[in-house]
């Protein structure tokens, strides 16, 4: 394969259970004939892997997570970098960033870039960052050190928790940037002064992994204690997922309604949420399943009656883009109850393809959940409509084709 088709993809961590959309994209690009090398800033912390991770052929290289842990490796990379023609530009950009962001994290990213530039994979001539915060910082410095072009996929947290000056600098430096929600696209477009180098590209699903659900769900209506309605929620226990709001909403449901909640995911706030469920008196109805592999989550989508995710904007500005789990659930005809935050309304239209409520509103969420619990016919209508929307508009082959086209236009221009 020609060397100009070999791309170094920089990730914060790899593999990660919560980032199946990235793994799916990497596999799609490989299948489209693009050779990849994966470079991660952090080693994996999840105990499990999704099947898609085992299908990706790209080699994986890890940079030092903390510079003090591998001082000789960093020092050798610095010595190798000093004579490079791009070192003054890279170091100048780093110093300018450090003046505005005088943190150890900023120093770490330049050190990681030195290591990547020194240990550059043979035959690669392009850099692509997933996430516009720390991975893009390492990628930008490396591109300057080696005088190579770079591009970026921006997602959610990286857009909304990064300083505008930092994003603007990266947008002007990258050949192009794609992002996965219209709200993120509009924000980045404004920071790039309307540049046409910012593109909207929905991730979509590999629908061969989320095939049509041929089964039928029982018409449970919450009136039988022996046959409760199953509510499923999937996501890390972090502030932006709004699981505290969900628990409060469940506690407000009429006591005679029969329901149970299954939660899938790890996260720093898990113990706090379990304590809240106890305090609210609903702990016996909640099952905490922890992190699960994709095929196990798919089974739960097909067994559940309702999917819910109480997305919110966190106190630091962090928020979801369009949570992939909502697209996955909808692909299985599972009716979704969520909030009108960020990219969620780009998938779900209230009353047509799902039920949407304002964020941080337990009463509104409780009312929507009660409505869905009591009305199995509504659930069928919403689930069928949501599945049609996913299969018509969120097939990942569209986003892979768009990305491949962006790369190929760059390569054709270069030749």
pLDDT digits (tens, 9 = 90+) for 130-148: 999 999 999 999 999 999 9
Q: Tell me if residue 78 falls in helix, strand or coil.
A: helix
Within 13 Å and on the Cβ side, how many CA atoms surround 211?
4
Query: Does residue 83 surpass a pLDDT of 50?
Result: yes
Query: Does residue 411 surpass a pLDDT of 90?
Result: no
Q: Are 319 and 341 in contact (CB under 8 A)?
A: yes
pLDDT category at 413 given cuts 50, 70, 90 is confident
Which pairing describes strands 306-309 and 229-234: parallel, antiparallel, or unpaired?
A: parallel
322: enclosing H helix or E strand: none
Per-residue pLDDT tens for 190-225?
Answer: 999 887 899 999 888 989 889 999 999 999 999 999
Q: Are 395 and 204 in contact (CB under 8 A)?
A: yes
Query: Does residue 149 surpass a pLDDT of 90?
Result: yes
List helix spans (H) across 5-153: 20-31, 51-55, 71-81, 87-100, 104-118, 134-146
Query: Which pLDDT value is given to residue 118?
Result: 98
DSSP 241: G
Which of 54, 52, 20, 56 lies closest to 38, judged by CA? 56
Within 13 Å and on the Cβ side, how many CA atoms surround 142?
33
Query: Which pLDDT value is given to residue 1?
Result: 35
Give the pTM. 0.86
For the chain, how many residues are written? Answer: 415
3-state secondary structure 87-116: HHHHHHHHHHHHHHCCCHHHHHHHHHHHHH
Choice between 194 and 172, residue whose per-residue pLDDT is larger: 172
Query: Which pLDDT value is given to residue 74?
Result: 98
Copy the structure tokens of residue 300: 């739960």
Copy the structure tokens of residue 244: 């505290």
Choice between 407 and 45, residue whose per-residue pLDDT is larger: 407
Q: How many CB atoms lie within 10 A of CB 380?
A: 15
Query: Does residue 241 surpass a pLDDT of 80?
Result: yes
Query: Does residue 18 surpass a pLDDT of 90?
Result: no
Query: Which pLDDT value is given to residue 5?
Result: 81
Separation between Cα atoms, residue 276 and residue 272, nearest integer Å: 6
Query: Does residue 3 surpass a pLDDT of 50?
Result: no
Copy the structure tokens of residue 21: 């959309």
Burial group, residue 17, by CB count within 10 angstroms (0-12, 13-18, 19+):
buried
Query: Which pLDDT value is given to residue 194?
Result: 81
Burial group, residue 80, by CB count within 10 angstroms (0-12, 13-18, 19+):
middle
Separation between Cα atoms, residue 36 and residue 82, nearest integer Å: 27
| Mean of pLDDT values over 322-326 | 94
**Sign of the four-CA dihedral 116, 65, 127, 46:** positive
Provide, rounded to the nearest whole percent, the portion of the chain with pLDDT above 70.
99
DSSP 395: B
pLDDT category at 51 given cuts 50, 70, 90 is confident
Q: How far is CA 84 from the centre of its chain?
A: 35
pLDDT category at 412 given cuts 50, 70, 90 is confident
């Amino acid at each position: 394969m020609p060397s100009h088709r070999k791309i170094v993809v920089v990730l914060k961590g790899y593999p990660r259970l919560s980032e199946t959309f990235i793994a799916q994209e990497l596999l799609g690009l490989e299948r489209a004939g693009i050779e990849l090398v994966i470079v991660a800033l952090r080693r994996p912390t999840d105990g499990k892997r999704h099947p898609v991770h085992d299908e990706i052929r790209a080699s994986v290289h890890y940079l030092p997570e903390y510079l003090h842990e591998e001082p000789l490796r960093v020092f050798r990379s610095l010595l190798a970098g000093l004579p490079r023609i791009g070192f003054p530009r890279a170091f100048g950009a780093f110093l300018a960033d450090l003046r505005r962001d005088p943190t150890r994290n900023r120093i770490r990213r330049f050190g990681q870039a030195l290591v990547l530039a020194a240990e550059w994979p043979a035959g690669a001539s392009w850099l692509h960052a997933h996430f516009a915060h720390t991975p893009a910082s390492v990628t930008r410095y490396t591109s300057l050190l080696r005088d190579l072009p770079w591009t970026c996929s921006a997602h959610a947290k990286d857009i909304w928790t990064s300083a505008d000056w930092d994003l603007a600098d990266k947008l002007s430096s990258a050949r192009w940037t794609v992002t996965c929600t219209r709200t993120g696209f509009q924000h980045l477009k404004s920071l790039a002064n309307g540049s046409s180098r910012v593109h909207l590209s929905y991730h979509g699903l590999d629908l061969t992994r989320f095939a049509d659900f041929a089964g039928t769900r029982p018409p449970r209506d919450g009136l039988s204690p022996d046959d409760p309605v199953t509510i499923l929620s999937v996501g890390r226990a972090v502030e932006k997922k709004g699981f505290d709001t969900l628990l409060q909403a469940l506690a407000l449901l009429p006591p005679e309604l029969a329901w149970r909640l299954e939660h899938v995911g790890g996260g720093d706030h898990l113990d706090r949420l379990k304590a809240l469920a106890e305090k609210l008196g609903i702990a016996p109805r909640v099952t905490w399943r922890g992190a699960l592999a994709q095929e196990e989550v798919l089974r739960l989508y097909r067994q559940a009656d309702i999917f819910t995710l109480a997305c919110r904007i966190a106190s630091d500005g962090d928020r979801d883009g369009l949570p992939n789990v909502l697209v996955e659930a909808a692909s299985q005809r599972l009716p979704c109850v969520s909030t009108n935050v960020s990219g969620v309304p780009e998938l779900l239209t209230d009353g047509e393809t799902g039920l949407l409520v304002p964020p941080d509103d337990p009463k509104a969420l409780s009312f929507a959940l009660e409505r869905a619990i009591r009305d199995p016919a509504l659930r069928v209508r919403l689930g069928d409509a949501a599945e049609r929307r996913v299969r018509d508009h969120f097939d990942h082959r569209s986003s892979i084709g768009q990305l491949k086209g962006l790369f190929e236009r760059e390569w054709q221009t270069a030749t």
